[in-house]
Amino acid sequence: MAGLILHLIRHPPPHIAPGICYGQLDIAAQAAAPFATRLCAELPPHLPVWSSPLRRCRELALALSPAAQFDDRLREMNFGQWEGHPWDDIPCHELDAWAADITDYAPPGGESAQQLQQRALAFIATLTVPEAVLVTHAGIIRVLYAAASGKSISACLDFNPPYGSLTVLAFA
């Protein structure tokens, strides 16, 4: 992993109502082509592309490279029973427990941020290239940012990459 450079791209805005917890729900996003055109101008040429298999990432990955590969470990955090529900409808005691231990608390039937980070790091440990593009989700980008910067996950909660944005990380 040392010396690895990752070009992390967050998917375009999803087609879902605001305020819904959507984690691993497979929902479509805004058209990928305009994002791909802009991103191709920002990315080094001929890098391999890996992506979350969820549609909101898949379409952009394929627009960037027809040879894009897909890996389940690049999916967004699994919010379990919260998925598809308005955040306002999730029981307060569950949200409070999550807020009190953002790193290790797992929503019912879901995974913790620590588990998400372990999954993402397990993926990048398998990479055999020095530089790659990953089309993925804010949660994955955030936990990889924490790992690359040597910070805790909770210290990186304010890092929120915009939809369609590019974040470059170097692992020392």
pLDDT band at 71 (very low <50, low <70, confident <90, very high): very high
Give the separation between CA 108 and CA 85, rounded to whole angstroms.
Answer: 13
What's the mean pLDDT in 122-126?
A: 97
In a domain, 10, yes or no: yes
pLDDT score at 172: 82
Domain of residue 57 covers 5-75+117-170
Task: Please tell me the total count of domains within the chain.
Answer: 1
pLDDT score at 114: 98
In a domain, 94, yes or no: no
Q: Is the pLDDT of residue 1 over 80?
A: no
Say if pTM beats, i.e. exceeds, 0.85. Answer: yes
In a domain, 47, yes or no: yes
Name the burial class of residue 84, with classes exposed (0-12), middle (13-18) and buried (19+) by CB atoms within 10 angstroms of its CB: middle
Q: What is the CATH number of the domain that holds 16?
A: 3.40.50.1240
Q: Is the pLDDT of residue 160 over 80?
A: yes
pLDDT band at 23 (very low <50, low <70, confident <90, very high): very high
The bridge status of strand 131-136 relative to strand 49-51 is parallel
In a domain, 80, yes or no: no
Neighbouring-strand partners of residue 166:
9
pLDDT score at 15: 97
pLDDT score at 2: 76
Helix axes 113-125, 138-149, angle to 10 degrees: 80
In a domain, 52, yes or no: yes
In a domain, 123, yes or no: yes
In a domain, 91, yes or no: no
In a domain, 110, yes or no: no
The bridge status of strand 166-170 relative to strand 5-10 is antiparallel
